Amino acid sequence: MGLEKILSVAGKPGLYELITQTRSGFVAASLIDGKKISVGLKSNVSVLSEIAVYTLDEELPLRAVFLKMQVKEKSGKTSISHKEDKIKLEEYFFEVLPNYDEDRVYASDIKKIISWYNILVDKGIADFSENEEDLSSEEE
């Protein structure tokens, strides 16, 4: 399963896997406890494959940030908790992504990224390499 089916739902903790679409939205299952939820079309939902992190040069896809974290952590969970204080979170993220834009990437963003990465590693969804669909859409 790639990041194309992994969702972040505003107001709900953790990550969700897209199960199916309905007339009024879609059904998703929590990656944390497996509980299914119904999400309406008006809900603020982000697909992980569409999220990018601001750097000083460009916007780097979240997939690429996860890859850098995976290399740093040798495919394991992060050495830092997402609950650490702001300074420690920023120091960690600077090690992973030295050119991230400190003015536009907040500590709350770093917390989410670390938390999401750890959830994905726990669930064995740790193939962050680009798939052929992503490559073909970038070439267009």
> What number is the average pLDDT over the span 4-17?
93
What three-state secondary structure class fits 88? helix
Is 59 in contact with 99 (CB distance < 8 Å)?
A: no
Q: Is 54 exposed, middle or buried (0-12, 13-18, 19+ CB in 10 A)?
A: middle
Domain ranges of the chain: 3-48, 51-122
Q: pLDDT at position 140, please?
A: 39
pTM of the model: 0.88
**CATH T-level assignment (fold) for domain 3-48:** SH3 type barrels. (2.30.30)
Mean of pLDDT values over 57-61: 95
- The fold for domain 51-122 equals Arc Repressor Mutant, subunit A (1.10.10)
pLDDT score of 134 = 43
Residue 132: the pLDDT is 44
Residues 4-26 have a mean pLDDT of 93
Phi, psi for residue 121 in degrees, rounded to 5? -65, -45
Higher-confidence residue: 57 or 127?
Answer: 57
Identify the CA nearest to 108 among candidates 5, 4, 6, 10: 10
Q: What is the pLDDT of residues 16-45, one digit of tens each?
A: 999 999 999 999 999 999 999 999 989 999
CA pair distance 78, 139, nearest whole angstrom: 33
Tens-digit pLDDT profile for residues 99-130: 999 999 999 999 999 999 999 999 998 888 77
